[in-house]
Structure 1
Amino acid sequence: MPHTHEPHEDDLDTVPPPQPVFHVEQALLGALLLEPHHLDDVSGITADSFSTAAHTALYAAISTVPRPDPAEHAKNTTWLDRVLATARKQARGLTAPYLHALVQVCPWPRHAPAYARMVEAEHARRRLQSGAERLVHTVHDVTLPQPVQTVLGEADALAAVVDDVANRFPPRAGVLPRTTEPPPTASASASAEAAEEEQLLLATATAYPSDIEAVRWLLPGDLTLPLHAGLWQCLTTLARRREPVDPVTVLWEAQQRGLLNDGSEPDEVLHMLAEPAGSVEHWGERTLQRSLLATAEHTGRRIEAYAGDPANTPFQLVVGARRALADIAAVRTRWQQATGAVPSPRRQPASTARAGPPTTTAAHAARSTRATR
C-alpha cells in the first residue's frame, strides 16, 4: 500500500540544521545560567554577537539582571525566573524548559571564555560578510548622485570593520583564505555602454595625442575589452615615443603587438579610431570611474566569498580582506589624481569634484584648465 504523507509531515526536512556556532552559543549561555560568575571571564562579545534573537535577548538579560548569591542560586530558580522574564520582553518565545535545556547541553561551565571567543569569531565573520554585501549593493545603486564618493565611503566602513577584527584577532603572516575568488562580473548593459565610451576615448586620443599626457592616471587595465586595453597601450606608447599618431600608425602598432590576432578587422579598427568626440579627459575619467566601481564590486564579492566560508578563521579573513581592499586603494589614488580631489583622512570617503567636460570636437580647443593638472 503506498505511503500517504500527512500534511506538514516533511516540514522539518526543509529546515536547515543549526550551524556549529548555534551549539557554541547554547553552551556559553548554559554556562552563564548555571554559574553566572563566569560572566566576569567573558570578554569581546555583546548581546549583538549572537546569531539568534532569542540568544541575543537571553545574553542581554544575563548581563543586566543582578547576579544571585551562589549559595541561593544552587537552591532555587529565582534568578533564572528573573532572567527569563527580562529576556521575554525581547523574545517572547523563550520558555523555562529552553533555559534548563541550555544548562543541560553545556559540557563544562568553566570553558565559558573559550565559548565566548568562538562566538566572537563567528560574529566577526558575519560583520565582514554584511559589510561586503553593503559595498556590492552600493555599487549597483543607480540612484546615487555621487556613486564614487558613496562607494568609497562604504569601502572605508568595511575597512574599519576589518581593522576592528584585526585588533581582536591579530592576523598571522602568510595565512590566506582557502576560498576560491569569484570571477569579475559585468552586466550586458554596462559592457555595451563601456565599449561605446571606450571607443570614443580611443578615437579622441588618436585625434588629440597631445592630451594623452594629461591622463597618465588611466591604465590599460581600466578598459573593459582586451582590444581596447591594447589600443590604449598602443596610443600611450606612441605618444611617449613622440612618434606620429593617427589611425594608421595606431593600427600598425596594434598589429606589431598581435592585437589583431583575435579576429579584429583592420577596417573596423580604423573606423573606430576615426570618430572622435568630446575630450580625452572626459572619457578617461568616465573609464576610470567605471574601473573603480568594478574594482569595488569585485573586492566586495571577494570578501563576501571569504566570509561566507566558515572554514576561514578570523586571521585568514583579515589577511584576505586587506589584500582585497588594497585594490580599491590603488584605483582610488588614481581617481584623486584624475579629479583633483584632495585625499581625505584615512577611513573617510573621498570627495569627487569634477567640472563638466566639453562634449563636442569643436569645443575641444576651449576645454577647461583641468587638462593641465
Structure 2
Amino acid sequence: MNPLLGAEQAVLGAVLLDPRQLSHLDWLAPDHFYRPVHQALFAALRKLRSDGHPAVGADRPVPLSWVTDAAKEAGLHVRGLTPVYPHALIQACPRPEHAPVYGRMVLEGAIHRAIAQHAIRLHQVARADALQGKVEGALRAADILTGVLTDLARCWGTEPRPVGPTSAPATGPAVPPPVQADQVAEDERFLLAVLAEQPGAMEEVVDWLRPGDFADPAHGQLYRCLGALHHRGEPIDRITLLWEAQRRGLLADGTLSGEQLTAFVDGVGAGSAEWLGERVMRASLTRTAAVSARVVRALAEDEALVPGRLINYALHALGSLDEVRARWETANGTPPPDPPPPTHGPDGPPPARVHVALARSTPHPVPPSSVRPASAPTPSASRPPSRGHS
C-alpha cells in the first residue's frame, strides 16, 4: 500500500471511529488530502462538528448516524462515494488515538505536492518567458514559490532558512528553448565584439554582468578575460584580448582558438553594450529560473526528505535565481519587490500545529526497568476502542 494513501485512510477512519479526534486535527485542512473523496469526507466531518452533530459530544458507542451523515454530506460534493467506503476507512485505522500522527503524515504529503506543483509552474513560465524575451512571468512565479515555501515552513512549525543539501539532487541536463538558442548565442557574440572594440564599453556592464550569465561557457570565459583587463586598467582590443586568453590557457585547452576570437570582432558595427548586456542578462535570468525550478521539483519528489529539510533545500536552490535577479534589477534600476505578507499572524501558526509538527523529534521518557506500575491494567483497559457503532 502507498504510505500516504494509508495515512489519509487512517486519519479519516480515526475520526469516524472517534469524533473527538477532530479537536486534535484543527490544523489539518481538507485540501491537504490528495484524493478528492478524502477531501470531501474530511470537510464533511468538520461541517458536521460545526453544525453540532449529536455524535460529537456523545459517549461511546458512536451512533451509526455519524458515519452515514458524513457519507451523505460528502456525496453532495464528490462523485463515486459509496456507503461502504467509510466502513473501509474504519477498518484501515489501526488506532484512533494516533490520529494526530496520521494527520501529520498527510500534511507531509501535501507539502511535497505543493512544492512540486509550484516548481513545475515556475519551470513552465520561465521557458515561456525565454521564448518571448520576457522575465516578468518568471519573477512573479518565483515570488509565489518563495511565498509558498515560507508559508509551508510556518505551517510545519519551523522557520524558513536556506540550507544547501549535502549532495545535489539528480536532475537531467538543462535544455534551452530551441527557438531562442541561436538568438542568445548571437547576442552574446555581438556583445563580446562591442566590448572588445569600443573603448569604455566595459564600464556599461561590468557592475552587473557576470561570466556565468553567458549560455556558452566559451563566451563566459572570454568575458572573464575582458573583465580582467578592465580590472587591471589595461587597454582592451583584439590583441590584448587574445594575449589574455592565451595566458589563461583558453587557447591551449581548446576552449577558444585564435580564429574564433578574431571572428568575434571582425565586421562589428555600432552597438550598445548596455542594451546587449540586458538581453544576455534577460536570457540568463529565465535560464536560471528554469534550472532552479527543476532542482526544487527534484527535491520535492524525494519522498525521503522531511518537510523541514525540503523547504530549506528548496529555498537554497532559489538562491542562485535571487542573485541573478538582484543584478537584473541593478541593470534596470528597478527596486526589489516587497516581500509577500505572511499567511499567519505575528504570533505564528497555531500552537497545536507546532506541537504536532515537532512531535516527531520529541523524545519519550522510558521508565527505569526497576520501576513497576502499581497495578497492571485490566484487559479491557489495554484493548483499543471498539470499532462498532450502535
TM-score tier (shorter): 0.7 to 0.9
Residue from 310, 327, 334 that aligns with 2:320: 327
Give the structure 2 partner of residue 96 of structure 1.
83
Instruction: Classify the secondary structure of the residue corresponding to 2:303.
Output: coil
Q: Give the whole-Å Cα distance in 2 for the aligned partners of 1:117 and 1:75.
A: 25
Match of 2:110 among 123, 130, 133: 123
Alpha carbons of structure 1 residues 189 and 260: separation in structure 2 relative to 1, 3 Å: farther
Shift of residue 76, structure 1, vs aligned partner: 3.8
Give the TM-score, by structure 1 length: 0.83
Q: Deviations over 1:164-183 (max 9, x none)?
A: 12112326986837662425
Question: How do 1:148-163 residues align onto structure 2 when only pairs under 5 Å count?
Answer: 148-163=135-150
Q: How many matched pairs?
A: 331
Partner SS for 1:111: helix
Unaligned runs of 5+ in 1: 1-17, 349-373
1:202 corresponds to 2:192:
yes
> CA–CA distance in 2 between the matches of 1:122 and 1:79?
27
Q: Percent identity among equivalent residues? A: 36
Please say if 1:227 is aligned against 2:235: no
Match of 1:113 among 100, 114, 118: 100
Cα deviations across residues 63-106 of structure 1 (Å, max 9, x unaligned)? 10133335477264122211111101122211121111111111
In the TM superposition, residue 27 of structure 1 has moved relative to its aligned partner by: 0.3
Contact 2:164 2:317 in 1 (8 A): no
SS at structure 2 position matched to 1:32:
helix
CA RMSD of aligned residues (A): 2.3
CA shift for structure 1 position 191 = 3.2
Do the aligned partners of 2:133 and 2:283 also contact (CA within 8 Å) in 1?
no
User: Following TM superposition, by how much is the alpha carbon of 1:138 offset from its aligned partner in structure 2, in angstroms?
Assistant: 0.3
Q: Paired residue for 1:46?
A: 29
For 2:264, which of 264, 268, 272 is the aligned residue?
272
Distance 1:24 1:175, change over 3 A: farther
Match of 1:275, SS?
Answer: coil
> Counterpart in 2 of 1:211?
201
Quote the offset at 1:225 in angstroms. Answer: 1.6
Residue matched to 1:182: 171
- In 2 relative to 1, CA 261–133 (structure 1 residues): closer, same or farther, beyond 3 Å? same
Distance in 1 of aligned mates of 2:143 and 2:24? 33
1:1-373 alignment, distance < 5 Å: 19-65=2-48, 66=51, 67-69=53-55, 71=58, 74=61, 76-142=63-129, 147-169=134-156, 170=158, 176=165, 180-187=169-176, 188-215=178-205, 216-263=207-254, 264-277=256-269, 278-347=271-340
Q: Does the 8 Å contact 2:160/2:311 carry over to 1?
A: no
Unmatched 5+ stretches in structure 2: 342-390
- Give 1:190's aligned amino acid: Q
* CA 1:95–1:123: 2 relative to 1, 3 Å: same
Offset at 1:116? 0.9
Query: Any idea what the Cα deviations from partners look like across 1:21-42, whole Å, max 9, x if unmatched?
Result: 1100000000001111110011
Q: Is contact 2:11–2:103 with CA below 8 Å preserved after alignment?
A: yes
Q: 2 CA distance for matches of 1:59 and 1:27?
A: 12
Counterpart AA for 2:203: E
- 1:363 corresponding residue in structure 2: none
**TM-score (structure 2 length as normaliser):** 0.79
